[in-house]
């Protein structure tokens, strides 16, 4: 009987469906970026973890600027060689925006969205428009209307700029090799997204 009392709690822990996820955001010192800069599908109880992509050579911060009412603000100083990661567990549903205070003018900003797990897809009343489409693609990209006429840069994963220009309805990317790239749009609220070229 006593043996069974120990087995039941153990099974509840092992088979519990409520497993929290750790979402990683890389701090890219070389190009002063958070990757990904826009993180979605975060659930309450999940952990956001910022990790260095490369060896930090300067001081950064991870500072909340706009968070849901009642959520705990954060302001983490990131300086080599002492800091290797920073973790935050969101407590409220909504959009969390943050910046690197010394490098906000360089576009070092990010956000993550915490969703309500009780809503189904059919309950979502918001129509989320993509920043670019199609994605994946192999010949061109088109920017959504609110991101037209801004400077853009397409980076290889190594950080090399392979294409830049002014965003428009039709940008030819057919000369780029297949692979994963990062697109940065220098809009009033900059966007950094993953671009997949087939």
What is the per-residue pLDDT for 179? 86
Q: What is the mean pLDDT of the chain?
A: 79
What is the per-residue pLDDT for 99? 93
Tell me what pLDDT residue 156 has.
Answer: 83
Say what the pLDDT of residue 17 is: 42
pLDDT at 98 over 90: yes
Q: Structure pTM?
A: 0.51
Nearest to 99 by CA among 161, 150, 27: 27
pLDDT at 41 over 60: yes
Give the residue with greater pLDDT, 9 vs 27: 27
Query: For 99-134, what is each residue's pLDDT tens digit?
Result: 998 888 888 999 999 886 654 444 444 445 578 888
**pLDDT score, position 81:** 55
What domains appear along the chain, each with residue ranges and CATH number? 21-119 (2.60.40.420), 132-197 (2.60.40)
């Amino acid at each position: 009987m006593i043996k069974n009392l120990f087995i039941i709690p153990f099974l509840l822990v092992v088979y519990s469906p409520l497993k929290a996820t750790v979402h990683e955001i890389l701090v890219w010192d070389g190009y002063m970026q958070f990757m990904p800069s826009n993180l979605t599908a975060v659930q309450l109880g999940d952990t956001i973890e910022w990790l260095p992509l490369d060896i930090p050579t300067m001081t950064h911060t991870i500072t909340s600027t706009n968070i849901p009412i009642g959520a705990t603000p954060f302001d983490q100083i990131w300086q080599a060689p002492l800091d290797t990661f920073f973790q935050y567990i969101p407590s409220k549903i909504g959009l969390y925006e943050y910046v690197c205070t010394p490098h906000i003018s360089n576009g070092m900003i990010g956000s993550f969205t915490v969703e309500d797990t009780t809503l189904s897809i059919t309950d979502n009343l918001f129509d989320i428009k993509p920043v670019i489409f199609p994605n994946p693609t192999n010949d061109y990209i088109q920017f959504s209307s609110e991101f037209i006429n801004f400077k853009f840069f397409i980076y290889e994963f190594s950080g090399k700029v392979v294409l830049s220009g002014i965003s428009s309805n039709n940008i030819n990317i057919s000369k780029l090799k297949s692979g994963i790239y990062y697109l940065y749009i220098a809009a009033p609220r900059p966007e950094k997204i993953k671009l997949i070229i087939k």
